[in-house]
Structure 1
Amino acid sequence: MEMAAPSWSKIPVRPVLILGRHVYTAILFTWTDIKTIFLPVMIFAFATVPINSLWSFIQCCFWTWIHLLLCNVSNQSRSRQEDALNHPWRPLPNGRVTEQQAVLLRYACIIGCMLLSATYSLTMLGITASLVVITILYDDLGLAGHCLGKSLCNIGGYTAFELGATKMIAGNGHELGDVTSQALAISSLVIFTTIHAQDFADVDGDLAIGRTTLPIYAPQLSRVAILVLPCTWSMFVGWFWGVGPGTYAALVSIGSYVGLQFYLFRNVDADKKSYRQFNVWLLLIHLMPLHYRTSVFRF
């Protein structure tokens, strides 16, 4: 006796559509920082320690993304006016969620991330707690409105993400060695001195809400800094990790090109394009510690 073919009409379509809408909304919250935080952090973790297993890699991806959602929801729940000008497709300005829903989602993310990290270790719980404190300083206590405070919060945030992702990808019991410690220190300095690259394209929105970023506070100096620093950091990072001459020349060339793009082309569209190129350069900077472990960049 033949079994009847499954009837597609019996599949509960509405719950699937609702779930899909919520997942898409969560992706929209994090979309901008996939290239600026998620990918550099994952590359950093991959470059500094061996991957323990496929399962640890999957867990690392999820841990990093769900914490990115926490930070983004916290930030965007208070920046609707700015996002309406700079990022109108985000969930709040495009009407997918209300401010009250965003606030509720923020606290749900905090609780969920704390519980997730607690299942691994007290160290991971401490990393999550530090990210929560940083989001409070950044969003609730106003450090996002000042160029120095914003840069310091960015250092703390990136360091927490990189430390957590590295422990996750290596296996939670793995002790981090000198390579990771040195790479964390270099990454923090690179982020602190160059992260204002993200602010050039957002000047109009930042001015509208009274935020003072480095491109607003010191327009010419900020352009000179971003002209010089990617090239300078490329030379230092290539030398520090002992890469080969071809890799060194390519890294310095890319850093110099990124700096020149920011310095020579000064409109919103050009700054958005330059920032995408900056993120490619940042990925390469985070990848260089891999050479210390594997000599992969000896050419």
Structure 2
Amino acid sequence: MTILSPIVRELDLFWGFSWRDWSASIIAGSIFAVGAMPGLSIPSIITNYLFLVSWLIPYVYFFNLSNQIIGVDEDRINKPDRPIPSGKVTVSGAIRRWVVALSTFIGISLYEPSLLPETICWVLTVAFLCLTSAGSHWFGKICAAMTTGGWALLSGSWKAIAPATPKSNAYVCAVALWAGLTAHIQDLRDIRGDTAVGRKTLPVVFGDRGSRLIITNLFLPAAYWVIWMAGIVRLAPFTLAMTHITLAYRVMQTGDSRYDHKTYMYYTYLFCLILACTSAEGLDVKVLG
């Protein structure tokens, strides 16, 4: 056993708990933060971005630990490779890491009080998801919690780099609402586990086919309208239109959980693309399409 072994183990556990959510958290927040960088010196950009990463890591780790500590039975069905059901770590070991992650997350916001609203918002959102019955219902779990969580992620990512502006606030609210309308896509792959633990997700309540029709014909058009009204679609109208149409097509294809997981990952890439369009505007770079 080497001195680095404990560090390697913790990195491996962090990856195991969180890798599925990187594109919707650490990567997404980093992309959006690029739009706040123009006008800053190179040393300031590097320092502020490293600070942002130090906030984003406990942001996602605290959530993953909270969710997976209480969701072991579901993970044994839907995601048996995760650290707890696979035996890499015990529940008590995960709880110890949860304490460290939450303490670090709150400590960073106390060090930089401008991030306190976003930090409190995310802690309360996670508590709502994990401790209340409403957090297991499709409206609370996605429409409410993904909107507030998206706001916390994007607002905090911008403010870690530079002070918020009216335009950045508008983009944050619009993209957060977009996420709250469309993130039901993640539940298409988890029907078996959600049914087993009593969650009332959109596919469980309305059925697989019914939920796909609702997402495609109601939530996706509404989400697209939101970012259109916020002025985001104009940044790359053809590209954003075609990627949304492609997402709608994938949602309507009834496949297995692996296919639905790939659709969810495509959805997170579209989330990142929307944020990249806003950042490109800040950099005065034209987006193809």
TM above 0.5, yes or no, is yes
Q: How far did residue 32 of structure 1 move?
A: 1.0
* 1:40 corresponds to 2:28: yes
Q: Which amino acid aligns with 1:90?
A: R
Q: Distance in 2 between matches of 1:181 and 1:234?
A: 18
**Residue 112 (structure 2) pairs with residue 120 (structure 1):** yes
Matched residue of 1:288: which SS? helix
**What pairs with 1:252-271 in structure 2 (closer than 5 Å)?**
252-271=241-260
Residue 209 of structure 1, CA deviation: 0.6
TM-score normalised to structure 2 length: 0.88
Q: CA–CA distance in 1 between the matches of 2:216 and 2:132?
A: 32
- Cα offsets for 1:112-140 (capped at 9, x unmatched): 2111221112x323322222222111112
Superposed displacement of residue 86, structure 1? 1.3
1:131 maps to what in 2? 122
Paired residues of 1:235 and 1:252 also in contact (CA < 8 A): no
Q: Partner of 2:215 in structure 1?
A: 226
Residue 101 of structure 1 is matched in structure 2 by 93
Contact 1:48–1:289 (Cα < 8 Å) also in 2: no
CA distance in structure 1 between the aligned counterparts of 2:26 and 2:156, rounded to whole angstroms: 12
Q: Deviations over 1:4-35 (max 9, x none)?
A: xxxxxxxxx53311221112111211111112
Separation in 1, partners of 2:21, 2:102:
18
Tell me, yes or no, if the aligned pair for 2:26 and 2:56 is still in contact at 8 Å.
Answer: yes
Task: Measure the CA separation in 1 of the matches of 2:36 and 2:224.
Answer: 18
In 2 relative to 1, CA 232–148 (structure 1 residues): closer, same or farther, beyond 3 Å?
closer
* Residues 40-189 of structure 1 mapped to structure 2, 5 A cutoff: 40-47=28-35, 50=38, 52-121=44-113, 123-151=114-142, 152-170=144-162, 174=163, 176-189=164-177
For 1:260 and 1:161, locate their aligned partners in 2 and report how far apart those are by CA, in whole Å.
28
Q: Which amino acid aligns with 1:110?
A: L
Tell me by how many angstroms 1:38 deviates. 2.2
Using the alignment, how far apart are the partners of 1:273 and 1:75 within structure 2? 21
What CA distance in whole angstroms lies between the structure 2 residues aligned with 1:282 and 1:242? 13
- Give the drift of 1:232: 6.0
Inter-CA distance 242–114: structure 2 relative to 1 (3 Å threshold): closer
Judge which range, 144-153 or 202-211, deviates more. Answer: 144-153
Instruction: Measure, in 1, the Cα distance between the counterparts of 2:152 and 2:109.
Output: 13
- Structure with higher Rg: it is 1
Between the aligned partners of 1:225 and 1:179, the Cα distance in structure 2 is 31
Report the AA paired with residue 79 of structure 1: G
Q: How many residues align?
A: 280
Partner Cα separation in structure 2 for residue 71 and residue 148 of structure 1 = 19
How far did residue 48 of structure 1 move?
5.3
The Cα offsets for residues 166-214 of structure 1, whole Å up to 9 and x where unpaired, read as 11122xxx2x111111111211221111010000001111111111101
Q: Secondary structure at the match of 1:255?
A: helix
**SS of structure 1 residue aligned to 2:49:** helix
The answer to whether the Cα contact below 8 Å between 1:194 and 1:226 also exists between their aligned partners in 2 is: yes
Structure 1: gaps of 5 or more residues: 1-12
Alignment CA distance shift 1:272-1:181 (3 Å): same
Conserved 8 A contact 2:182-2:223? no
Once the two structures are overlaid, the 10-residue window that deviates more, 39-48 or 29-38, is 39-48
